[in-house]
Structure 1
Amino acid sequence: MSEILRKLSAHGVSLWLDDISRERLRTGNLAELIRDKNVVGVTSNPTIFANALSKGDAYAPQLHDLSVRGVDVGEAVRLITTFDIRWAADVLRPVYDTTGGLDGRVSIEVDPRLARETDKTVAEARALWWMVDRPNLYIKIPATLEGLPAITQALADGISVNVTLIFSLERYRQVMDAWLTGLERAAQAGHDLSAVSSVASFFVSRVDSEIDKRLEAIGTPEALALRGKAAVANARLAFAAFEDVMASERWQALAARGARPQRPLWASTGVKNPDYSDTLYVDELVTAGTVNTLPEKTLTAAADHSSVDGDTVRPFYEQAWNTMAALREIGIDYDDVVKVLEDEGVEKFEASWIELLDTVAAELKKA
């Protein structure tokens, strides 16, 4: 195992792979990454599944059977994706057991076309939870305004949730409130709170992509000097908000009943700008009690040359506030940035889901 990845884990950062495919599962590659790269979880999204279906023949036998049975394309996609998620959950089950349920988790996302529909999101979350039927599953629900009550209801039902597509600090605080409310209702319903888990996926690299574009449009030396700083500052302040909640009486009451913290998860950590270090969003977001979900390319880079010299989040709150203040002073509209990113995030996942449906439909016709 890479000594660097061992250090990251020792600092309390759980490394999850941001990818899944039938090929990765059947060749044993996921098991190898667990063994050799300290991977302790897996996340998926519509784009990942669309890419997996477009390559190789790993899905051909199942597609053939679905075609013979005359299964419609929407149900076929559910059956294909839940098959992979169930398999990955079984591969990661030893990690889940040895970490007492902290890690060994696998995430599957609700149909992103439902991101603005609360009741349908809840119904889909329940269906996926039932179909996969593994205790180490997370259902991914987007942190849209309509997603917030769905998050609460899913948790109240005893469903473990990965809240995704979080960009803003205000929305993150709303997510944590929805999470706490869900746990309180789960307790009232008699659920074992230690079995109801959650993470909050705070997106990182896309923040720099959007703000850097705006800084370059401003074009002054002061603006250009702020490129590549917003995303890390935003994530660090998210962790400060998380610590505030962890110190609250409301959380302490739930913790006394066995509840687990909703760990911050750094998502979208593949670096988009080639001028930046390819491990930027690993090196600058090291702190205990977090998850970093990495594309395999970023995981490999981190294993090779990531810099792990201690906590790079908690000591830098003041610096983060100063960065955000400087961005505001130079004309960056933070509220507009995060709105654009959320809207684009939903649109991109919807487009990937439609691509996935189209791919499966075409494969069913050929099978």
Structure 2
Amino acid sequence: MSDRLQALADAGVSIWLDDLSRERVETGNLAELVKDSSVTGVTTNPTIFAGAIADGARYDDQVRRLVAAGEPVERVVFELTTEDVRNACDILAPVHAEHPADGRVSIEVEPALARDTEGTLASARALWQAVDRPNALIKIPATVEGLPAITAAIAEGISVNVTLIFDVERYRAVMDAYLTGLEQAREAGLDLSRIHSVASFFVSRVDSEVDKRLEAIGSDEALALRGRAAIANARLAYAAYQEVVGGERWRLLAEAGANPQRPLWASTGVKNPDYPDTLYVTDLVVAGTVNTMPQKTLEAYAEHGEAAPGDLVTGRADDARQVFERLAAVGVDFADVLQVLETEGVDKFVASWDELVATVAEQMEKQA
């Protein structure tokens, strides 16, 4: 096990792999990562599944059986992906038994439902039932329409990974949706200790969009701010989280056995080659959080990642606000940045789902 990854885990950061395939499951690769790299969870998305299925002969037998049974492509997608998540949950079950907040595997509701509350909730229920593992997490996007679905899912005892969060104010709404769901679950007599959630706050995409605008402005003051927005935004998000868990409403739920909705740093692969390839790990080390990394970032951190001594997140809200004041001063409209990121995020999720469906349809034709 890498000493650097171990140090990250010792600092209280849960390390989740942003990747899953049947090959990882069946060859023992995932089990090895859990054993040797401090990986304690897995996140997935349609693009990950599309790549795995396109390149993986290990899916052929199941596809052939489903084609023979006359199943439509949407059902084949459902069966293939839930099978992988179920098996990954089993591999991570020992981690989950020791640390119930970890050992988690996430699977996403159909992205085309991002603006459909009832459709999202129905998809979440179907996935939760099909995976049928206590360490699963159902990914629900943090759109306005997704918020009531988050509350309803939590109220029913479904553990949720809230995804596609860019905006600190939307994040506050996500936390409110979680607390409301827990309160409803408590009223219904559910065991709150069995309900878990993470809130996936996207990081690198913020810098990508802001940096593009700063480069278009082109002044020395603007260019000096490149690579600053994403970390500042995440630090403000963590300050909001601290406010919520420090409040009376949370205290009452915690006393009833509820688990905190841990912040999860998502989109942590560095897209700008001019930045350190571990930037969105090293600068966001804080206990009680999750960092979900693509394998490339995991390997980079294992090889040369160096977190600064202490916590670079807690108590940095004032510094973060100054970054946004400076961004506004040079002409960056951050409210517009957030709107663009959410719209593009939903569109990308839908496009990746379409890619997955097309990939599975192609495999079905081959096995017909």
Q: Secondary structure at the match of 1:288?
A: coil
Whole-angstrom CA distance in 1 between matches of 2:279 and 2:217: 24
Residue identity in the other structure for 2:278: T
Whole-angstrom CA distance in 2 between matches of 1:300 and 1:52: 20
- The range that moved more, 282-291 or 49-58, is 49-58
Whole-angstrom CA distance in 2 between matches of 1:323 and 1:92: 40
Aligned to 2:180: 181
Residue 57 of structure 1, CA deviation:
0.9
Aligned to 1:364: 364
Aligned to 1:212: 211
1:193-235 Cα offsets, whole Å, 9 max, x none, are 0001000000000000000000000000000000001000000
Structure 2 unaligned segments of length 5 or more: list them. none
Residue identity in the other structure for 2:50: A
8 Å contact 1:240–1:317 — kept in the other structure? yes
2:321 is the counterpart of 1:321:
yes
Whole-angstrom CA distance in 1 between matches of 2:360 and 2:56: 13
What does 1:1-367 align with in structure 2 at a 5 Å threshold?
1-99=1-99, 101-308=100-307, 309-367=309-367
Whole-angstrom CA distance in 1 between matches of 2:366 and 2:196: 41
Residue 314 of structure 1, CA deviation:
0.9
Whole-angstrom CA distance in 2 between matches of 1:57 and 1:136: 27
Residue 34 of structure 1, CA deviation:
0.6
Q: Secondary structure at the match of 2:290?
A: strand
Whole-angstrom CA distance in 1 between matches of 2:315 and 2:161: 27
Residue 366 of structure 1, CA deviation:
1.4
Whole-angstrom CA distance in 1 between matches of 2:13 and 2:198: 13
Residue identity in the other structure for 1:79: E
Q: Number of matched residues?
A: 366
8 Å contact 1:110–1:141 — kept in the other structure? yes
8 Å contact 1:139–1:160 — kept in the other structure? yes
Residue identity in the other structure for 1:125: A
Residue identity in the other structure for 2:76: A
Whole-angstrom CA distance in 1 between matches of 2:289 and 2:108: 20
Residue 329 of structure 1, CA deviation:
1.5
8 Å contact 2:54–2:363 — kept in the other structure? no
- The range that moved more, 356-365 or 195-204, is 356-365
Whole-angstrom CA distance in 1 between matches of 2:301 and 2:282: 8
Whole-angstrom CA distance in 2 between matches of 1:365 and 1:5: 43
Whole-angstrom CA distance in 2 between matches of 1:102 and 1:124: 23
Q: Secondary structure at the match of 1:58?
A: helix
Residue identity in the other structure for 1:245: V
Whole-angstrom CA distance in 1 between matches of 2:292 and 2:180: 26
Residue identity in the other structure for 1:264: P
Residue 298 of structure 1, CA deviation:
0.1
Residue identity in the other structure for 1:366: K
Residue 56 of structure 1, CA deviation:
2.9
Residue identity in the other structure for 1:230: A
Whole-angstrom CA distance in 1 between matches of 2:137 and 2:91: 15
What TM-score do the two structures reach when normalised by structure 1?
0.99
Residue identity in the other structure for 2:158: I
Residue 316 of structure 1, CA deviation:
2.4
Whole-angstrom CA distance in 1 between matches of 2:187 and 2:239: 29
Residue 331 of structure 1, CA deviation:
1.2
1:339-360 Cα offsets, whole Å, 9 max, x none, are 1111111111111111111111
Residue identity in the other structure for 1:253: L
1:130-185 Cα offsets, whole Å, 9 max, x none, are 00000001000000000000000000011000000000011000100111101000
1:286-334 Cα offsets, whole Å, 9 max, x none, are 0001000000000000011111222111142222111111111111111
Whole-angstrom CA distance in 2 between matches of 1:53 and 1:230: 36
- The range that moved more, 121-130 or 50-59, is 50-59
Residue identity in the other structure for 1:138: L
Q: Secondary structure at the match of 1:264?
A: strand
Residue identity in the other structure for 2:118: D
Whole-angstrom CA distance in 1 between matches of 2:209 and 2:329: 17
Structure 1 unaligned segments of length 5 or more: list them. none
1:259-300 Cα offsets, whole Å, 9 max, x none, are 000000000000000000000000000000100000000000
Fraction of identical pairs, as percent: 62
Whole-angstrom CA distance in 1 between matches of 2:60 and 2:91: 22
8 Å contact 2:50–2:360 — kept in the other structure? no
Residue 240 of structure 1, CA deviation:
0.3
1:79-131 Cα offsets, whole Å, 9 max, x none, are 000000000000000000011x1100000000000000000100110010000
Residue 51 of structure 1, CA deviation:
1.2
